Amino acid sequence: MPLVRIDAMGCDAQRLKALGRAVQEALGEAMGFPADDRFQILTGHDGERGVLRHGTYLGVQRDDGIVYVAITLRGGRPAAQKRVLYRRIAELAQEYAGTEPRNVFVVLTENTDADWSLGNGEAQYLD
């Protein structure tokens, strides 16, 4: 069960929805998550009340079309599977939301079963 946070500049509700769809489909294709395992926080930033900073780190020329995708999930997936996920998110973000792949910044944060409560104050993965 991943928790996805997407932050994007100059983004209306329709584009945020498209980005969420892109990430959800990529997670399903690359890592086998079911379609109804969707927990997403989608935030658009207008440059005044919310700003996203970016640089040209490692030679990638990003601009104000930047989209940050932060995915928290239980650990254990191989690097090859993560590479497929990154590529697929960039492809689908371009297809669904018109986001250039160079502007898709993805970070995965892994944790353990004990780090999740899916409601009711319980640790469902430990029970």
Nearest to 33 by CA among 59, 13, 57, 3: 3
33 CB contacts (<8 Å, ≥6 apart)? 1, 2, 24, 27
Q: Which of 2, 34, 78, 101 is catalytic?
A: 2
Q: Identify whether 2 is a catalytic site residue.
A: yes
Question: Distance between CA atoms of 76 and 71, rounded to whole angstroms?
Answer: 14
User: What is the set of active-site residues?
Assistant: 2
